[in-house]
Amino acid sequence: MKKKILVTGGTGYIGSHTAVELIEDGFEVVLIDNLHNSEAEVAERIGKITGTKPRLEVFDICDREKLNDFFQRNMDVSAIIHFAAYKAVGESVSKPLDYYWNNLVSLINILEGMKDYAVPAIVFSSSCTVYGQPEKLPVTEDAPIQPAISPYGNTKQIGEEIIRDTVAANKNIRAVSLRYFNPIGAHKSALIGELPRGVPENLVPFITQTALGLRDELKIFGDDYDTPDGSCIRDYLHVVDLAKAHVIAVKRMLENKNKHDYEVFNLGTGQGVSVLEAIKSFERVSGIKLKYKITGRRAGDIEKIWADPSFANRELGWKTLSSLDEAMKTAWEWEKAVRKKN
């Protein structure tokens, strides 16, 4: 019988790509999402890609009663991948309580549910934001956690601590926190992808929207950093590569291959890419000359960060397969497809 995986935030950007990979790997998938930042139609699109439409339950995970009701009807959930969270860094500074409430209460409810309904395994969406500006690059998992720059980042740090302590106190629960670097791109079908509401905060959707004429020009936030071309450096990985790591992490726990009850992995390519290099990649794959200008630095930006993914490479047998150009190409195909539809 197929093992059932609960994917919270399952109609969101990374959740939807992970649902595809899970279904294609033979799992039954059920999605929960309150559609705060996504659309129900994404479940149909996952169905179009895989031939199996996952069931979507629409409710807020902060609602403990609704979540309990879900678990009562789904006593056979084998593992949870918990994506559901608010993720806009800027908004988290102006609405900290919304972020602490949503990201932490939802996590606590999920963990309570795991205890009450004997769900043994969880994968948590963490972030490279927990490292702040690391002293040593590439950054390894044992690098010191820095004081969070935003309430959003703090919810990831606190979330990891809540999980660590819960696993320590409950011998039947195991967990993996995955610290994502910068996911970009979309499924090759161009049926699912990143769909930010309003003005995008992240670089790649801003680039693709500018190229389509939805934004006048991209502002590059600073060219006076201590980097080879002066712009900030990040580690951009293809969202499908990222999604595949979740399938591996789930199987590792379900097959008792984990070495510790709580494990943490960096997920990145290991390559640092500057903002200007990312733009060049986009221009190469799209054939479009992007309109951009250099402006001042963005408050709170990290100068440079990229992953040392060797622990995930070794322990999970996972590595990124797509190049930056391939990821950019899929981001561009998705942007064009989604605007045609809307």
Residues with a known catalytic role: 152
| Beta carbon nearer to ligand WQD, 127 or 322 | 127
Question: Footprint of ligand NAD on residues 54-83 (CB under 6 A)?
Answer: 60-62, 83
Distance CA 187, CA 26 (A): 18
Residue 14 binding target from ligand WQD, ligand NAD, none, CB below 5 to 8 Å by type? ligand NAD
Query: Nearest approach, Cβ of 280 to ligand NAD (angstroms)?
Result: 21
Position 220 contacts ligand WQD (CB under 6 A): yes
Q: From the list 132, 153, 183, 185, which residue makes contact with ligand NAD (rule: CB under 6 A)? A: 183
* Bond from prior residue into 138 cis (ω within 30 degrees of 0): yes
Tracing tokens 């040392």 back to the chain, one arrives at 308
192 contact, one of ligand WQD, ligand NAD, none, CB 5-8 Å limit per kind: none
Give least dist CB 67 to ligand NAD, A: 9
Least distance between ligand WQD and beta carbon 184 (Å): 8
Residue 307: exposed, middle, or buried by beta-carbon count in 10 A (0-12, 13-18, 19+)?
buried
Q: Which of 12, 200, 222, 270 binds ligand NAD (CB under 6 A)?
A: 12
Residues forming beta bridges with residue 30, ordered by sequence position? 6, 55
Only segment of 26-34, 218-226, 229-237, 248-256 that touches ligand NAD (CB under 6 A) = 26-34
Q: Which does 36 bind (CB under 5 to 8 A by kind): ligand WQD, ligand NAD, none?
A: ligand NAD
> Is residue 127 within the footprint of ligand WQD (CB under 6 A)?
yes
Interaction mask 74-103, ligand WQD, x per CB under 6 A: -------------x-x--------------
Q: Is 202 in the site for ligand WQD (CB under 6 A)?
A: yes
Residue 72 neighbours by CB distance under 10 Å: 10
Question: Which residue in this structure is represented by tokens 């659309």?
Answer: 39
Rule CB under 6 A: which residues touch ligand NAD? 9, 11-15, 32-38, 60-62, 83-87, 102, 106, 125, 127, 180, 182-183
